[in-house]
Amino acid sequence: MDNLRPVLYISLLLVLFLIWQAWQRDYGPQPPPVDPAEVAEVERDRPDAPEAAPAPRPMDLPDAPAAEAQDVPVEAVPERDRGRIRVVTDVLDIEIDTRGGDLVRADLPTFPTSLRTPDDPVRILDERVRQYVAQSGLIHDRVPGIEHEDRAPSHHAIFSAPQQEYRLREGQDELRVPLTWTSDTGIRVTKTYTFRRGDFLVQMDHHVENHSDDPWIGRQYRQLRHGATPSRETWFLYTFTGAAYHDGRYEKLSFEDMATSPLDKDVEGGWISIIQHYFLSAWVPFEDEINQFYTRVVGTATRPEHIIGMRSEAQTAEPGESTTFTSRFWVGPKLQEQLRAVTPGLELTVDYGILSFLAKPLFWVLDKIHDFVGNWGWSIIILTLLIKLVFYKLSETSYRSMARMRAVQPKMMQLKERYGDDKQRMNQALMELYKKEKINPLGGCLPILVQIPVFIALYWVLLESVELRQAPWILWIQDLSTRDPFFVLPLLMGATMIAQYKLNPAPMDPVQQKLMMALPVVFTVFFAFFPAGLVLYWFVNNLLSIAQQWYITRNIEQQAKKA
């Protein structure tokens, strides 16, 4: 029984190692930026680049069902005929390409890349380096007797815009950016983006006016396109970026899976997205809308580009009539409350893993505490105190068992001297001693077992919640989501582990004693690279545990002396 405690500590150490490995793999340092010359080469090799040869059927267009999409060639568009429109609101800085009306750049001015560079905003959409864009367009169904050429603008069509820059002015709550496309047959399409103050949700409308002699029957598609992620040179220099969608369940889809298992299903409501640490972009239809969700991989084997998209059902505009397609696009941080308000399930992009049932209530309590105290560091401390109160009675039982074990330590040493290397007789004698003294040798392990899932759940809360990104506490701790820059908290945490070791009954095996003495050092090294908020939780938890254990141990020892 005495061997169980070291095994539990080693198990916790293994869990810490796996968490640290996963953290470094998913959220480690960003890979170096791509060389500009390489970017230019990528631009030349892209299938929709201006120099590309015309294709009979663009591979990056979704298919229509029974009525096949029109086989319109992709025309090479001179750069001089293309333009960029800049849109600036209080929370977004976006560029729109007049080719297709694509969103090709999206910066978040209120979210700097680091505290050291407050004027350098986080960039989500990025056409030039990552080939990461949000595309949308219309496709026309094939109907017998109707000429299909030039009746629907895809994301390869050229739109016109009344101006090249739009800014949300003081006192203005809404900003509308219209783009216009007109065909020779009398089809006029106005693609309008609507931005609102303080909102990362953008509305997009395709308004189709049919001034031709034939009915217009078409569909809207929306898709997210992302180039290949940098190859992983080592397991700790990798940042996860991938697709996710919701079809009643939250599903993640890696870029590799798009090539081997393409997505193709009809979904009512739902959404599609590309996620990264703390941020996402997502096309969000309305809940009663039915779309076909699909994935594509285009480009070349060495430079693939991955597409996740959705295509709507057909709408018809008779001659002289019009119809409108409406969709929504989120580009911004993973703010759980706001995402939940947009559509069901979008908040699941804040992925807490298999312990979400613990992590979600932990974050909810932490968020409510923060609403009251206004500081995430103090909120973590108060949350730690509340967790300790919840498990107080269980911890008390465990610490009493450990205190009794400590009190009978001299008798256990006498048994060891009496029986020497006869382990069978030794274990029998120990069991009789435990029974006589009413000691449960497993009782001291319960606090560790209880804390492990809570610890892991809080770990994911601190890593995944953008609300804690760059959140200060006090003095030198200015970002609770990254490691302590001076390693003060890990060292203090290591000191508390040594104090706990002194309060616990020492193992009788000398090898185990050395192992237990070395564990505080090993844990300190691990925690040195963990987020400061997590180390703060563990440090405060250790302090409270030491206070509780010292109080119980002192009472047990005083009772033993009186007896």
Residue 293: the pLDDT is 94
378 plus 338 within the same structural domain? no
Residue where a domain stops, chosen among 321, 350, 379:
350
The reply to whether 6 falls in a domain is: no
Contact 224, 274 (CB under 8 A): yes
Query: Is the confidence at residue 57, as pLDDT, over 60?
Result: no
pLDDT reading at 11 higher than 60: no
What does the pLDDT read at residue 441? Answer: 59
Tell whether 70 is covered by a domain: no
- How many H-runs (helices) and E-runs (strands) does the chain carry? 14, 19
Query: Mean pLDDT: which of 20-24, 240-244, 504-508 is highest?
Result: 240-244
- Tell me: pLDDT of 493 over 70: yes
Segment 518-522 mean pLDDT: 76
Q: Is 107 helix (H, G, I), strand (E, B) or coil?
A: strand
66 in any annotated domain: no
Whether residues 146 and 179 fall in one domain: yes
Of 357-371, 440-454, 500-514, the range with the highest mean pLDDT is 357-371
User: Residue range 382-390: average pLDDT?
Assistant: 87
Decide which of 85 and 412 is more confident: 85
Mean pLDDT of 411-428: 67
| CATH code of the domain containing 208 | 2.70.98.90
Distance CA 541, CA 388 (A): 7
Between 246 and 409, the more confident residue is 246
Higher pLDDT, 444 or 117: 117
Q: Specify the pLDDT at position 37.
A: 40
pLDDT at 26 over 60: no
Residue 554: count of CB within 10 angstroms of its CB: 11
Whether 176 and 299 map to the same domain: the answer is yes
User: Which candidate, 277, 301, 295, 155, places its Cα nearest to that of 228?
Assistant: 301
Name the least confident of 143-147, 302-306, 341-345: 143-147
**pLDDT on residue 75:** 42
Q: What is the pLDDT of residues 80-133, one digit of tens each?
A: 467 899 999 999 999 999 999 999 999 999 998 887 888 889 999 998 888 899
Please give the sequence-ordered ranges of beta strands (E in DSSP) within 247-321, or none if there are none: 250-253, 264-268, 271-276, 279-284, 290-299, 304-312, 315-317
- The string over 145-174, giving b where at least 16 C-beta atoms fall within 10 Å of a residue's C-beta and e elsewhere, is ebebebbbbbbbbbbebeeeebebeeeeee
Percent of the chain with pLDDT over 90: 33
Residues 174-227 pLDDT 10s: 999 999 999 988 899 999 999 999 999 999 999 999 998 888 999 999 999 998
Asked if residue 27 is part of any domain, the answer here is no
pLDDT greater than 80 at residue 431: no
243 within some domain: yes
Residues of the domain holding 209: 84-350
Convert the pLDDT of each residue in 106-118 to its tens digit.
Answer: 999 999 888 788 8
**12 vs 452, higher pLDDT:** 452
Same structural domain for residues 316 and 377? no
> Is 17 inside a domain boundary?
no
Q: What average pLDDT does range 514-540 have in this prediction? A: 80
My answer on whether 463 and 534 are in the same domain is yes
| pLDDT for position 230 | 59
Contacts of 510 (CB under 8 A, 6+ apart): none
Greatest extent of the chain over all pairs of C-alpha atoms, in Å: 106
pLDDT tens, position by position, 304-341: 889 999 999 999 999 999 999 999 999 999 998 899 99
How much is the pLDDT for 9? 52
Average pLDDT, the chain: 78
**What is the per-residue pLDDT for 530?**
81
Residues 275 and 331 in one domain: yes
- Helices 510-527 and 4-27, packing angle to 10 deg: 20
At residue 73, the pLDDT reads 37
432 contact partners, CB below 8 Å, separation of at least 6: none
pLDDT, tens digit, 9 for 90 and up, residues 254-295: 888 888 888 899 999 999 999 988 899 999 999 889 999 999
Q: What is the pLDDT of residue 257?
A: 85
CB atoms within 10 A of CB 465: 24
Residue 318 shares a structural domain with residue 455:
no
Ranges 182-186, 229-233, 414-418, 499-503, most confident: 182-186
- In which element (H, E) is residue 504 found? none
Instruction: Please enumerate in sequence order all residues whose Cβ is within 8 A of that of 388, keeping only pairs 6 or more positions apart, or say none.
Output: 395, 541, 544, 545, 548
> Among 350, 375, 401, where does a domain finish?
350
> Is 90 exceeded by the pLDDT of residue 426?
no
User: Are residue 170 and residue 319 in the same domain, yes or no?
Assistant: yes
Q: What are phi and psi of 320, to 5 degrees?
A: 85, 0
The answer to whether residue 65 is domain-embedded is no
User: CB of 377 within 8 A of CB of 536?
Assistant: yes
Q: Would you call 493 exposed, middle or buried from its count of C-beta atoms within 10 A (0-12, 13-18, 19+)?
A: buried
115 located within any domain = yes
180 in Cβ contact with 85 (< 8 Å): no
So what's the pLDDT on residue 144? 73
> Which has the minimum average pLDDT: 39-53, 200-214, 329-343, 454-468?
39-53
pLDDT score of 387? 85
- Same domain, yes or no, for 412 and 504? yes
Are both 528 and 464 inside the same structural domain? yes
**Tally of domains within the chain:** 2
Buried b (16+ CB within 10 A) or exposed e, 266-298: ebebbbbbbbbbbbbbbbbbeeebebbbbbbbb
* pLDDT bracket for residue 27 (50, 70, 90): very low
- pLDDT band of residue 560 (cuts 50, 70, 90) is low
My answer on whether 377 and 517 are in the same domain is yes
Confidence grade of residue 563 (pLDDT, cut at 50, 70, 90): low
Q: Is the pLDDT of residue 366 over 70?
A: yes
d(CA 99, CA 117): 33
Do 291 and 403 lie in one domain? The reply is: no
What pLDDT, on a 0 to 100 scale, did the predictor assign at position 542?
85
